[in-house]
Amino acid sequence: MEFQDRNAGEEEFSQAIIENLFLLKDGSVVMGCHVVCGTVHRGDRFYYVDCVGRECFAVTVADIAVPKVGSVEKVSAGEENARQAAIKVAERVIGKVHPGHMLQSEPEEVIYKEAPGWDAITECFEKRYPDQKIPAHFGCYASYKPDEMGPLDGISVYNGGDYFHFVTYGLSELYEKQNGNPERSGYGFELTLKLKKEGLENPALEVRHICSLLQMIAGITVNNGHQFTPGQFLAMGQQRGLDAASKSAITGFITKEDDIGTVESPFGKVQLVQLIGVKAEEIEQMKNKTMTPAQLAEILKDGLTDYKR
């Protein structure tokens, strides 16, 4: 297939957020995208970028489809279907592309060819899940605010059998040492969460929604400096459930140390702090000091966030 390089001259800058992925039977990948600026044409060469300076490679737009119309020659930001464009790429990129990353008409510089802190976290999870070398992963645009980059560089999701096991990347130092404390990497922790699968009406939607919540909670640390440690509770300030449909009784979290433990990163220690979903009445008990987070964690021994509890 021939492609058109629209990166130079008078052509406008074009960019689309990858919101989900679909693998076709022939091994090709279709990306569900929101075109946020410019225009994507069939035959264009675009660049896949992760927005944090680790990945940038060219892909060819093999086809574009939009709801109720089907295949189209182009789709532009601001059009009715710009939020629901299905973009098929010609290259075999399964395992190399992730939701929350970008397609754009200009390349970005690869700044970080190595990420020792990132790799240290991944190695700990690969020991727990040795058959999952390519877990589901969501980039920094898998955010609770539409089209806004979240504070985390990424979130990986491992299949724990009865649950999905989430881990964040971005609250510790991933690429280089910066904070001057050799004992602690970044803020000294990353967040994890185990979401129980049983009872989920739309697992894919709930996984993405948890990623959004983790971005929001990480923002509490990045914006306010709050240090999450085991033995705390977090009231999310709402009475409706934290699931995507707001139907569950889960309205907040307690924290404990993830059973994977503490990561020994080249940049210092990274404690894995696990969030466990709790009910409004349990939040009130902890506020009134009739129960502690540690006591509740003993009751919720499996450590799962269970929307049907």
Give residues with Cβ within 8 angstroms of 78, minimum separation 6: none
**Apex 12 CA angle, 7 and 15, nearest 5:** 80
Q: Which residues pair with 268 in a beta bridge?
A: 265
Full pLDDT tens readout for the chain, 309 residues: 344 455 444 578 999 999 999 999 888 999 999 999 999 999 999 999 999 999 999 999 999 999 999 999 999 999 999 999 999 999 999 999 999 999 999 999 999 999 999 999 999 999 999 999 999 999 999 887 777 889 999 999 999 999 999 999 999 999 999 999 999 999 999 999 999 999 999 999 999 999 999 999 999 999 999 999 999 999 998 889 999 999 999 999 999 999 999 999 999 999 999 999 999 999 999 999 999 999 999 999 999 999 999
Please say whether the dihedral angle defined by the alpha carbons of residues 115, 121, 127 and 128, taken in this order, is positive or negative. negative
pLDDT given for residue 3 in this prediction = 45
**Which residue in the block uniquely carries the two structure tokens 């709801």?**
67
Classify residue 191 by its DSSP letter: E
Cα separation, 104 vs 4, in Å, equals 13
Cα separation, 119 vs 195, in Å, equals 23
Cα separation, 291 vs 293, in Å, equals 7
pLDDT given for residue 64 in this prediction = 98
pLDDT given for residue 5 in this prediction = 52
Q: How many CB atoms neighbour CB 100 within 10 A? A: 26
Taken in order of first residue, the domains within the chain and their CATH numbers are 15-104 (2.40.30.10), 116-299 (no CATH)
pTM above 0.75, yes or no: yes
Q: What burial class does residue 232 get, using C-beta atoms within 10 Å of its C-beta: 0-12 exposed, 13-18 middle, 19+ buried?
A: middle
